[in-house]
Structure 1
Amino acid sequence: MLKNLLRSMAVVIGVVLCVAFTGPASQAATTTTVTLATTLGGTPKGQAKATIKITWTSATTVTLTGTITDVCPADGAGAYLVLDGVTSASMNNAIGPITFVKDTDGCGNGSVSFTNYKVPNYGYKIRSVWLTLQERDANVACDNSGCEVGTTRSNPYS
């Protein structure tokens, strides 16, 4: 009887230790791909296009990969991708605006690629990111609804 009791206790202790030292199953990354394009033929006359892969790996980590393109006709403007975001520290724009990639070499010469751009979190969870694509001059704000387009993505881990 005592022998069976000791065996049972050993099994229970083994199970408890196994559960205690085995970490939680890791979650797979969550990836979303978005395509943005400004209106062609407005002011400026050209167009900006971007394809962005947004990859969330945790409540505090999101990376961006993709391309941005300044589309003809030549109008003197460039394509800019601007990042904003919200952390758990604030409900305002705690991240950005950050112009993290641009195509200003003129239209028709290809796209500018960006790989694994890590969104800054400033030590907090990231609630969401906003991406705005603009067709504009370098230091001039977009002044009409056709020259910018945006999207918001929420963190699936927060």
Structure 2
Amino acid sequence: MASFGWKRKIGEKVSKATSQQFEAEAADDKDLADDDEANWVHATKRRKEILLEDCVKKSKELKDEGANLAENKRYREAIHKWDEALQLTPEDATLYEMKSQVLMSLHEMFPAVHAAEMAVQRNPRSWDAWQTLGRAQLGLGEIALVGKQTRV
């Protein structure tokens, strides 16, 4: 069987002016597509920055809520709020330090030491974190370890 198809010679009935106009529009469309590509990449970067700012803002709100709960002796709820904040900003040493202090108030020394170590690891220059780590280790009875750390 023979296949059937329409064949048309391009350029036979198309004027040069129309052809040039079409080519100019195609070039403009290509430039716009390149601009859209650049805008898309820029918009993605900008959106990522906005998301990071939102995470920091939400983390600060959760941190403040947790501090208020801890002041009202609602320690478990405070820990829950701080854990949520740590999911958003895992490098915040003050969250780990506050969590460690609350865990010590609940007499949960092993998790308190772990949280204090995380705080010191995140910010080794924070004397609050070192002091909290020392208090948590004293709660475990690690007097020799506390003495070693205070000499350093």
- TM-score between the two structures when normalised by the length of structure 1: 0.33
Q: Which has the higher contact order (CA 8 A, sep 6+)?
A: 1
Give the structure with the higher percent strand: 1
Give the structure with the higher percent helix: 2
- TM-score between the two structures when normalised by the length of structure 2: 0.34
Which has the higher Rg, Structure 1 or Structure 2?
2
